[in-house]
Amino acid sequence: MNRYPILFLFCLGALVINCYSLEKQYNYGNPYLPSPEFTEDDPQFEEGEPIWILDKTGDWIFSIPSKIVLWDRKADNHHISKETKEYLIRYMKENNLRDVKVRFNQYAPLSEWKRLSKNQNINPVVRYFFGSLSLLAYTFLPGRLFAGTIGGDHYNAFTNTINLYSDLPPVAIHEGGHAKDFAQREKRTLYAAVYAIPIVGSLYHEAKASDDALNYFAEKDDMAQLESSYELLTPAYATYVGGAIGDVVVNPITTFTVIPGHIYGRYKKRDIALEMEKRKQKKTIKEIKPNP
């Protein structure tokens, strides 16, 4: 049996299911479980020291696959602007994500292993099994160098950490969306275990995070980042649909399956003005509607 029609239909069907809507009201997060505060010695937001040869090697060589897939030179470029940082910092504060660590282009394996042991919101058996696998990859194949070819921007539910290497606000908010999604779950252990299942396990989670990013920019009436989100997050989702394991490796299949994602993302971008107008109308009606 020819597998390509099946692959195409699967990709197309998943994309249709993943039609994001900007009409719904944006809900700011409130973590389900109590969260410890960070300290002065262990700040919530940290950045790796610039190392020219390391960062340029990652940017010019290892990030090429992700730059091609997302068609953006800022993908995994290892230089995160103040603007992108401020987008994510503001998002984290507004969604009350007080216990989530954010590492901007930083390699900190010892600190991450410590965070794995301290994350009491996930069952230790599940946490140490799946978390150790993720940290072994983080330790020996660091995204600080290999992001774009092996690994890249991601949220680790087992250490409750966001690792960011791209200077792209939609990608930053997407990863924040993962943290927000997990923070509001009562049964984080089951949710994290499902997310750890390669390919299929991540489809729902990725759609959820992208949907939150799109609606966040719509809530802020940030048209520039909203358009950029459709151009970046939709093809990124297509890589999961097509069978590419984005948190592990970029393979040649990604290049083929991402094309429908780019087409679909740009198609949806044309409807932004109309959807934003509908959103404003619904918001106005809700504001003037008297309470019973």
113-170, pLDDT tens digit by residue? Answer: 999 999 989 999 999 999 999 999 999 999 999 999 998 999 999 999 999 999 999 9
pLDDT tier at 245, thresholds 50, 70, 90: very low
Instruction: Return the closest-CA partner of residue 116 out of 174, 181, 192, 51.
Output: 192
pLDDT tier at 87, thresholds 50, 70, 90: very high
- The string of pLDDT tens digits covering residues 199-241 is 666 788 998 999 999 999 999 999 999 999 999 998 888 777 6
Interacting residues of 111 by C-beta distance below 8 A, sequence separation 6+:
none
pLDDT tier at 104, thresholds 50, 70, 90: very high
How far is the C-alpha of 11 from the C-alpha of 73, rounded, in Å? 25
Q: Does an H or E element contain 87, and which?
A: helix 82-94
- Are the beta carbons of 122 and 157 closer than 8 angstroms? yes
Question: If you average pLDDT over every residue of the chain, what do you get?
Answer: 84
CA angle 251, 252, 255 (to 5 degrees): 110
Interacting residues of 89 by C-beta distance below 8 A, sequence separation 6+:
45, 102
Task: Name the residue ranges covered by the structural domains of the chain.
Answer: 3-288
120 class by beta-carbon count within 10 Å (0-12 exposed, 13-18 middle, 19+ buried): exposed
